[in-house]
Amino acid sequence: MSHSLRLFYSGVNGTVRRNFNWPLINQKSAVIITAAEFFWPGGLGGLEDIRPSLGAAPIWVSNVGAHGNGSEAGGVEFLLHVDWGSPLNVMVTITVLDDIEQYVRVG
pLDDT of 72-98, one tens digit each?
A: 999 999 999 999 999 999 999 999 999
For the chain, domain boundaries: 3-41+50-99
pLDDT of 14-70, one tens digit each?
A: 999 999 999 999 999 999 999 999 998 876 668 888 999 999 999 999 999 999 998
CA distances from 79 to 15, 36, 64 (A): 6, 14, 7
